[in-house]
Structure 1
Amino acid sequence: MGPLFYAGKEKQMVYTCEYESPLGRITIACDEEAITGLWFIGQKYYAQGLPKKRIEKTTPLLEETKRWLELYFSGREPNFLPPLKYGSTPFRKLVCQIMLTIPYGHTMTYKAIAKEAAKRLHKERMSPQAIGGAVGHNPITLTIPCHRVVGTSGSLTGYAGGIERKVALLKLEKTDMHGLYVPEKGTAL
C-alpha cells in the first residue's frame, strides 16, 4: 500500500501547516518532495526533527495530505498515500516499512513486527522493546499507522498520541476490538 520512503535531496526548505482533526489539531510538515512529519499537537516527541527554519505555508503536497486526512477522518480508507520521507536510522525506517503493511482496520503486535524485522535483517530474533522504541518515535503518525500496533496480550499501549486517541482511531477504522484492552496505566514509548 502506497510508497515506502522517498529518498530525495537532503537539505531542502520545510513547509508546515495545521489541520483541525476530530481528535485534535495536527501539524503537517513536508519538503518539496515528501511528507516529513505529521503529529498531534502536544503528543510525545511532538515535532521531533522539525527544523527551526521552516515556512508556514500550504503547498500542493500539504493539500494532498489534508485530503488524505479528510478521507481518513470521515471513516473511509484513503485509496492513496502521499509520498513519505523518514530521515532516521535504517532500523527505524525498517520498522515503519513494516507498519505500512498493516491493513486498515487491523492490528499487528510488537512481537509480530519484531519477528518480521528479524527475518528481513537475517537475524534469529529481535527485541519487541526495540520495536516499541522505533514505533513510538514514528514522526509521520496516521499515514504510518503506529496506532495499529498492540501488545501481544491485546494491550493498547505505546501510542505517543495518547491511548484515548489510539482507541478512537481503531474504532474509526472499525477494527475488531475483541481482545483489545486499555491497561490500567497507559504508556507511550
Structure 2
Amino acid sequence: MSPLFLHQFASPIGSILLVTDAAGQLRALDFLDYRERMDRLLARHYGPVTLADAPTPAPLAQALADYFAGDLTALDRVAVATNGTDFQKSVWHALRAIPAGQTVTYGDLARRLGQPTAMRAVGLANGANPIGIVVPCHRVIGANGTLTGYAGGLERKRWLLAHESAAGLPLLEQIAEKRHRSGA
C-alpha cells in the first residue's frame, strides 16, 4: 500500500478529516469527532496504516468548498478509491448516483442493484462507507421516511439533506410526512 495522507477541512458542520493516497484520490472522509470510526475502517480495508499530515490537495479542497457554498455537483469531480467487498463497492457506486436533493430507501437501493431482498446487506454496506458526504450515504432513509442512522450523527444528516434540497427544509418536511403516513 502506498502512503496515505491525513488532511483536515473546516466545514459548516464540523472539522472533517480526509485521507488521500499519493495520487490524491480520496480514501476516507469522516468528522474529527468520529476519528476512531475512520481509523477502524482504514484498518479493516488496508491493514495497519500510518497517516502522514499533509496539506489538502487543492482540487479536493476546492470541491468541498464549492459543495458547502452550494455547488451540489462539485463532489462529482472528486476521485475516490476504496477497498471493500465487491458488494460494498457496488453499493458505494450506487450511492454516488443518487442526485443531491433526493433520498432513497435501503429497499430502493437494493432494487437498483438488482437484489431486492438485500436491504439489510445494503444497510450494512452503507454503514461501512469510508467516504461520507462524497459517497452520499446520508441520502438513504428508512422505508417509513425516518432519518435512520448516520455515522456523523443525525443532526449532520439533517443538515446535509437540507443543504442539498433545492427547496431547503421542505425535503425534511416530506420525509416527516412519509413517516407520519406510515404511522412511525
TM-score range, shorter chain: 0.7 to 0.9
1:179 and 2:174 matched: yes
Matched residues in 2 for 1:153 and 1:68: separation?
33
Matched residues in 1 for 2:83 and 2:14: separation?
25
Moved more, 163-172 or 108-117: 108-117
Matched residues in 1 for 2:60 and 2:133: separation?
11
Matched residues in 2 for 1:14 and 1:110: separation?
32
Q: How many residues align?
A: 166
1:45 and 2:37 matched: yes
| Identical aligned residues as a percent | 31
Matched residues in 1 for 2:97 and 2:60: separation?
19
User: Which of residues 65, 69, 80 in structure 1 aligns to 2:64?
Assistant: 69
In the alignment, structure 1 segments of 5+ residues that lack a partner are 1-10, 184-189
Instruction: Report the alpha carbon displacement of residue 180 of structure 1 after superposing the two structures with TM.
Output: 1.3
Equivalent runs, 1:109-188 vs 2, <5 Å: 109-117=105-113, 119=114, 123=115, 125-174=116-165, 176-181=171-176
User: Which of residues 98, 116, 127 in structure 2 aligns to 1:102?
Assistant: 98
> Residue in 1 aligned with 2:15?
25
What is the CA deviation profile of residues 36-55 of structure 1, one whole-angstrom value per residue up to 9, with x for unaligned ones?
A: 01111223723321554121
Moved more, 17-26 or 35-44: 35-44
Question: Quick one: which amino acid aligns to residue 72 of structure 1?
Answer: Y
What is the CA deviation profile of residues 28-75 of structure 1, one whole-angstrom value per residue up to 9, with x for unaligned ones?
A: 01112211011112237233215541210125xx32111111111112
Question: Quick one: which amino acid aligns to residue 103 of structure 1?
Answer: P
Matched residues in 1 for 2:10 and 2:28: separation?
16
Matched residues in 2 for 1:179 and 1:155: separation?
10
Give the secondary structure class of the aligned counterpart of 2:42: coil
Instruction: Report the alpha carbon displacement of residue 78 of structure 1 after superposing the two structures with TM.
Output: 3.3
Residue pair 1:147, 1:170 contacting (<8 A) in 2 also: yes
Question: Quick one: which amino acid aligns to residue 156 of structure 1?
Answer: L
Matched residues in 2 for 1:116 and 1:69: separation?
27
Give the secondary structure class of the aligned counterpart of 1:126: coil
Instruction: Report the alpha carbon displacement of residue 101 of structure 1 after superposing the two structures with TM.
Output: 0.6
In the alignment, structure 2 segments of 5+ residues that lack a partner are 180-184
Moved more, 95-104 or 70-79: 70-79
